[in-house]
Structure 1
Amino acid sequence: MIQQNDSRYGAAARNRLDATGDPSAEGAYAALETFYYALNHRDAAVLREDWSDHPLAQLNNPLGGILRGGDAIAELYGKIFDGPVRVEVTFGDIVEYLGEGHAVFAGRESGTYTGPDGLAVPLAIRTSRYFRYENGRWRQFHHHGSIDDPGALAAYQQAVSGRRTAG
């Protein structure tokens, strides 16, 4: 089934790990919402539980490049959560692709990142997330995120890493 989803997942997202065992689309929605709970609340343990243990689970995003495996992905998010930058985003404008045992959610993340200086800088990221139902629950297997504006991308990477980027 392909359809538009008018939901938004942001700072008000809930930890719904307990509902990810539902094999229906409701379980996939719970896994998606749980990810945004973990991201916006800097909850590394919940984020790790949301991601698959599979060695080919993959993250492609502006901060991590391409990472494979749940542990490597969780390590990147742990560094972000423990770093000087606070990221808050809301996922919306969602189109969902649902099938038996799999779900893709594609849309836009909008929000801000705030550095040690206290200034909030806008973030706009094209995002897709792929979830699979296996071993009795939904887990995230793939994420792709892109920032269109090269200057905004460089500034975000510099803020999170603390290193100056080439350009």
Structure 2
Amino acid sequence: MKMENTPVTGKENKDELSPMLRALSQFYEALNSRDMELMSQNWLQGDEAAMDNPLGGIKRGWEEIRSVYERLFGSTSNYYFEFYDYTLHDAGELFYVVGRERGTFKTGDTVLEMRIRTSRIFRLINGQWRQVHHHGSIEEPELLASYQQAVLGRREADSEHHRRLS
């Protein structure tokens, strides 16, 4: 297993990447450019897709996952994320990456330096790699609360916090 040190930002020359890294890069391109069409192409369009992240809790199926990205893409915030310090695991018609995301999230007077543990699973479907699972965790309780409040607002952030405790 080889630790990868070059961050994946979405700005990579896709022609120079392996098909697996191309799918990962496409995700970060879609995220950082707020491109819902590209994000939709990256994810499996079915009920098998699942995501567990700091903003939306557990979402099952593309429609629920899409709603999390729509909220983020529709916000007035500025943000940038990249994936680094990761390993890629090839399992034939599946591959997964385990690593970290870092970035900056800005809204109003709030500026957060983001640090998120992240794993993503992709499956080969009709010759294309599609993301089928994402899990992201923010270890620092203060950063998690600040991020949720900045994106979701106080009331919804408190509700999400209580859901995670139950």
TM-score class, shorter-chain normalisation, is: 0.7 to 0.9
Q: Report the Cα distance in structure 1 between the residues aligned to 2:100 and 2:128, rounded to whole angstroms.
A: 25
Match of 1:122 in 2: 113
- Any unmatched runs of 5+ in structure 2? 162-166
- Establish whether residue 35 from structure 1 lines up as the match of residue 27 from structure 2: yes
Match of 2:122 in 1: 131
Q: What is the SS of the residue equivalent to 1:90?
A: strand
Percent sequence identity is: 38
- More relative contact order, 1 or 2 (CA 8 Å, 6+ apart): 1
Query: Is the Cα contact below 8 Å between 2:49 and 2:61 reproduced in 1?
Result: yes
Query: Post-superposition shift, 1:78?
Result: 1.1
Q: Report the Cα distance in structure 2 between the residues aligned to 1:44 and 1:86, rounded to whole angstroms.
A: 16
Stretch moving more, 55-64 or 66-75: 66-75
- Letter matched to residue 98 of structure 1: D
Q: Report the Cα distance in structure 2 between the residues aligned to 1:13 and 1:116, rounded to whole angstroms.
A: 30
Query: Is the Cα contact below 8 Å between 2:31 and 2:39 reproduced in 1?
Result: yes
Q: Report the Cα distance in structure 1 between the residues aligned to 2:57 and 2:12, rounded to whole angstroms.
A: 26
- Establish whether residue 5 from structure 1 lines up as the match of residue 4 from structure 2: yes
Query: CA-to-partner distance for each residue in 1:41-95, whole Å, 9 max, x for gaps?
Result: 1111101110001202100000010001122212210110101222211100011
Q: How many residues align?
A: 157
Q: Report the Cα distance in structure 1 between the residues aligned to 2:39 and 2:94, rounded to whole angstroms.
A: 19
**What is the aligned-residue RMSD (CA, Å)?**
1.9
- Letter matched to residue 35 of structure 2: D
TM-score (norm: length of structure 2):
0.87
Match of 2:66 in 1: 74
Stretch moving more, 82-91 or 128-137: 82-91
Query: CA-to-partner distance for each residue in 1:122-159, whole Å, 9 max, x for gaps?
Result: 00000000001012200000000000011110110000
Query: Post-superposition shift, 1:3?
Result: 2.7
TM-score (norm: length of structure 1):
0.86
- Letter matched to residue 84 of structure 2: G
Q: What is the SS of the residue equivalent to 2:103?
A: strand
- Any unmatched runs of 5+ in structure 1? 20-24
Query: Post-superposition shift, 1:163?
Result: 2.4
Match of 1:145 in 2: 136
Q: Which runs of 4+ in 1 moved over 4 A?
A: none
